[in-house]
Amino acid sequence: MDESVILHAERSFLVCRKPVGVECEHELPALLAEEVKCKVDSLYCVHRLDRAVGGVMVWARTPKAAAELSRQVQEKALKKAYFAVCSGIPTPDTGEMRDLLFKDSVKQKSFAVSSFRRGVKEALLDYRVLQTAALNGSPAALVRVTLHTGRFHQIRCQFATRGHPLLGDGKYGSRVKGAIALQSCGLQFVHPDTGRIMNFTLPLPDTAPWNLFAE
Protein backbone atom coordinates (compact mmCIF):
# COMPACT_ATOMS: atom_id res chain seq x y z
CA MET A 1 0.00 0.00 0.00
CA ASP A 2 1.54 3.27 -1.16
CA GLU A 3 -0.13 5.65 1.29
CA SER A 4 0.95 5.56 4.92
CA VAL A 5 -1.61 4.18 7.33
CA ILE A 6 0.21 5.52 10.42
CA LEU A 7 -1.12 8.81 11.78
CA HIS A 8 0.94 8.95 15.00
CA ALA A 9 3.44 6.58 16.62
CA GLU A 10 5.00 6.45 20.08
CA ARG A 11 6.86 3.81 22.06
CA SER A 12 3.71 2.47 23.74
CA PHE A 13 1.01 2.95 21.10
CA LEU A 14 0.28 4.00 17.55
CA VAL A 15 -2.72 5.56 15.83
CA CYS A 16 -3.59 4.50 12.32
CA ARG A 17 -6.08 4.95 9.51
CA LYS A 18 -7.59 1.55 8.74
CA PRO A 19 -8.34 1.23 5.03
CA VAL A 20 -11.78 0.01 3.95
CA GLY A 21 -11.69 -3.70 3.14
CA VAL A 22 -8.83 -4.54 5.50
CA GLU A 23 -9.71 -6.79 8.44
CA CYS A 24 -8.37 -6.12 11.93
CA GLU A 25 -7.22 -9.53 13.07
CA HIS A 26 -4.42 -10.31 10.62
CA GLU A 27 -4.29 -7.93 7.64
CA LEU A 28 -4.10 -4.61 9.48
CA PRO A 29 -1.43 -5.70 12.01
CA ALA A 30 0.71 -6.88 9.10
CA LEU A 31 0.40 -3.47 7.41
CA LEU A 32 1.25 -1.66 10.64
CA ALA A 33 4.19 -3.90 11.47
CA GLU A 34 5.65 -3.43 8.01
CA GLU A 35 5.40 0.35 8.25
CA VAL A 36 6.82 0.80 11.76
CA LYS A 37 9.33 -2.05 11.36
CA CYS A 38 8.19 -4.16 14.29
CA LYS A 39 6.94 -7.69 14.85
CA VAL A 40 3.24 -8.35 14.36
CA ASP A 41 2.98 -9.96 17.79
CA SER A 42 4.21 -6.73 19.42
CA LEU A 43 0.95 -5.00 18.41
CA TYR A 44 -2.12 -5.32 20.63
CA CYS A 45 -5.66 -4.72 19.36
CA VAL A 46 -7.82 -2.90 21.93
CA HIS A 47 -10.86 -2.13 19.73
CA ARG A 48 -12.06 -3.14 16.27
CA LEU A 49 -13.67 -1.92 13.08
CA ASP A 50 -15.61 -4.06 10.61
CA ARG A 51 -13.72 -5.03 7.48
CA ALA A 52 -16.12 -2.86 5.43
CA VAL A 53 -15.49 0.24 7.58
CA GLY A 54 -12.39 2.43 7.51
CA GLY A 55 -11.07 5.08 9.83
CA VAL A 56 -9.01 5.97 12.85
CA MET A 57 -7.88 3.34 15.39
CA VAL A 58 -5.37 3.06 18.24
CA TRP A 59 -3.14 0.03 18.76
CA ALA A 60 -1.05 -0.67 21.85
CA ARG A 61 2.63 -1.57 21.48
CA THR A 62 3.30 -2.79 25.02
CA PRO A 63 1.34 -5.05 27.40
CA LYS A 64 1.05 -2.17 29.88
CA ALA A 65 -0.44 0.16 27.27
CA ALA A 66 -2.75 -2.61 26.08
CA ALA A 67 -4.09 -3.09 29.60
CA GLU A 68 -4.57 0.66 30.12
CA LEU A 69 -6.26 1.28 26.75
CA SER A 70 -8.47 -1.79 27.21
CA ARG A 71 -9.51 -0.41 30.59
CA GLN A 72 -10.46 2.86 28.92
CA VAL A 73 -12.54 0.97 26.37
CA GLN A 74 -14.35 -0.93 29.13
CA GLU A 75 -14.93 2.22 31.20
CA LYS A 76 -15.98 4.25 28.12
CA ALA A 77 -13.10 6.69 28.58
CA LEU A 78 -11.98 5.96 25.02
CA LYS A 79 -14.44 7.95 22.91
CA LYS A 80 -15.25 7.19 19.27
CA ALA A 81 -17.00 9.32 16.65
CA TYR A 82 -18.13 8.38 13.16
CA PHE A 83 -19.28 9.98 9.94
CA ALA A 84 -22.13 8.20 8.17
CA VAL A 85 -24.33 8.89 5.16
CA CYS A 86 -27.85 7.54 5.53
CA SER A 87 -30.90 7.31 3.31
CA GLY A 88 -33.45 9.96 4.15
CA ILE A 89 -33.08 12.65 6.78
CA PRO A 90 -33.35 11.65 10.46
CA THR A 91 -35.66 13.73 12.62
CA PRO A 92 -35.02 15.50 14.83
CA ASP A 93 -31.71 16.62 13.35
CA THR A 94 -29.97 16.03 16.70
CA GLY A 95 -30.87 13.23 19.02
CA GLU A 96 -30.23 9.96 20.77
CA MET A 97 -30.84 6.41 19.64
CA ARG A 98 -31.34 3.81 22.35
CA ASP A 99 -32.21 0.21 21.49
CA LEU A 100 -31.94 -3.35 22.68
CA LEU A 101 -29.87 -5.22 20.11
CA PHE A 102 -29.62 -8.96 19.56
CA LYS A 103 -26.66 -10.29 17.59
CA ASP A 104 -27.55 -13.23 15.36
CA SER A 105 -24.21 -15.00 15.04
CA VAL A 106 -25.45 -17.24 12.23
CA LYS A 107 -26.63 -14.37 10.04
CA GLN A 108 -23.85 -12.07 11.29
CA LYS A 109 -26.43 -9.35 11.77
CA SER A 110 -27.93 -7.37 14.65
CA PHE A 111 -31.64 -6.89 15.24
CA ALA A 112 -33.49 -4.42 17.46
CA VAL A 113 -35.78 -6.28 19.88
CA SER A 114 -38.36 -5.19 22.43
CA SER A 115 -37.12 -6.87 25.60
CA PHE A 116 -34.06 -8.32 27.27
CA ARG A 117 -33.21 -11.97 26.78
CA ARG A 118 -30.04 -13.95 26.46
CA GLY A 119 -27.71 -12.27 23.97
CA VAL A 120 -29.51 -8.90 24.06
CA LYS A 121 -27.55 -5.78 25.00
CA GLU A 122 -28.48 -2.12 25.27
CA ALA A 123 -27.11 0.15 22.54
CA LEU A 124 -26.81 3.92 22.84
CA LEU A 125 -25.53 6.60 20.49
CA ASP A 126 -25.96 10.31 19.84
CA TYR A 127 -26.20 11.73 16.33
CA ARG A 128 -26.25 15.10 14.62
CA VAL A 129 -27.24 15.80 11.02
CA LEU A 130 -24.45 17.89 9.48
CA GLN A 131 -25.66 18.30 5.89
CA THR A 132 -28.28 17.00 3.50
CA ALA A 133 -28.11 16.26 -0.23
CA ALA A 134 -29.92 14.41 -2.99
CA LEU A 135 -28.66 11.14 -4.47
CA ASN A 136 -30.45 10.00 -7.63
CA GLY A 137 -33.38 12.16 -6.63
CA SER A 138 -33.65 10.77 -3.10
CA PRO A 139 -32.66 12.61 0.08
CA ALA A 140 -29.58 11.58 2.03
CA ALA A 141 -27.95 12.98 5.15
CA LEU A 142 -24.40 13.25 6.40
CA VAL A 143 -24.46 12.58 10.13
CA ARG A 144 -21.88 12.58 12.90
CA VAL A 145 -22.35 9.81 15.43
CA THR A 146 -20.90 9.52 18.92
CA LEU A 147 -20.96 5.97 20.27
CA HIS A 148 -21.65 5.34 23.96
CA THR A 149 -21.69 1.55 23.56
CA GLY A 150 -19.83 -0.68 21.13
CA ARG A 151 -22.33 -3.27 19.92
CA PHE A 152 -22.02 -5.42 16.81
CA HIS A 153 -23.05 -3.38 13.72
CA GLN A 154 -24.57 -0.88 16.15
CA ILE A 155 -24.71 2.23 13.96
CA ARG A 156 -25.76 0.25 10.90
CA CYS A 157 -28.59 -1.49 12.75
CA GLN A 158 -29.88 1.49 14.73
CA PHE A 159 -30.17 3.76 11.69
CA ALA A 160 -31.73 1.01 9.55
CA THR A 161 -34.27 0.25 12.30
CA ARG A 162 -35.53 3.82 11.92
CA GLY A 163 -35.80 3.60 8.15
CA HIS A 164 -32.45 5.26 7.44
CA PRO A 165 -30.02 2.52 6.32
CA LEU A 166 -26.49 3.65 5.59
CA LEU A 167 -25.80 4.02 1.88
CA GLY A 168 -24.19 0.91 0.45
CA ASP A 169 -25.26 -1.27 3.38
CA GLY A 170 -27.30 -3.91 1.56
CA LYS A 171 -27.34 -6.17 4.62
CA TYR A 172 -29.46 -3.59 6.43
CA GLY A 173 -31.70 -2.55 3.57
CA SER A 174 -29.84 0.00 1.45
CA ARG A 175 -30.60 -0.13 -2.27
CA VAL A 176 -27.55 1.98 -3.10
CA LYS A 177 -24.58 0.02 -4.44
CA GLY A 178 -21.04 0.63 -3.23
CA ALA A 179 -19.06 0.62 -0.01
CA ILE A 180 -20.87 1.17 3.30
CA ALA A 181 -20.93 4.91 4.02
CA LEU A 182 -19.47 4.73 7.51
CA GLN A 183 -16.10 6.03 8.71
CA SER A 184 -14.47 6.19 12.11
CA CYS A 185 -13.58 9.89 12.08
CA GLY A 186 -12.63 10.73 15.65
CA LEU A 187 -10.85 9.10 18.56
CA GLN A 188 -10.13 10.48 22.03
CA PHE A 189 -8.27 8.64 24.77
CA VAL A 190 -5.90 9.22 27.67
CA HIS A 191 -2.22 8.75 26.89
CA PRO A 192 -1.31 5.44 28.59
CA ASP A 193 1.98 6.85 29.93
CA THR A 194 1.50 10.56 30.56
CA GLY A 195 -2.24 10.90 31.22
CA ARG A 196 -2.54 13.59 28.54
CA ILE A 197 -5.77 13.72 26.51
CA MET A 198 -5.10 12.60 22.93
CA ASN A 199 -7.40 13.55 20.05
CA PHE A 200 -7.23 12.33 16.46
CA THR A 201 -9.59 13.13 13.60
CA LEU A 202 -9.98 12.29 9.92
CA PRO A 203 -11.64 14.39 7.21
CA LEU A 204 -14.44 13.15 4.97
CA PRO A 205 -13.30 10.70 2.31
CA ASP A 206 -13.10 12.21 -1.18
CA THR A 207 -15.08 9.39 -2.82
CA ALA A 208 -18.81 8.83 -3.41
CA PRO A 209 -21.14 9.33 -1.62
CA TRP A 210 -19.04 11.48 0.71
CA ASN A 211 -18.23 13.94 -2.08
CA LEU A 212 -21.88 14.99 -2.14
CA PHE A 213 -21.08 17.04 0.94
CA ALA A 214 -18.78 20.00 1.52
CA GLU A 215 -15.98 19.62 4.09
Q: Just list the catalytic residues.
A: 50
What phi and psi values does residue 125 have, to the nearest 5 degrees? -145, 160
Write out the E strands in the chain.
Answer: 6-9, 13-18, 44-45, 54-60, 79-87, 94-104, 109-113, 120-135, 138-147, 182-190, 197-201
Distance CA 136, CA 57 (A): 33
Burial bucket for residue 151 (CB in 10 Å: 0-12, 13-18, 19+): buried
Determine the straight-line distance between the first and last CA of the chain, rounded to whole angstroms: 26
Residue pair 166/84 in contact (Cβ under 8 Å)? The answer is yes
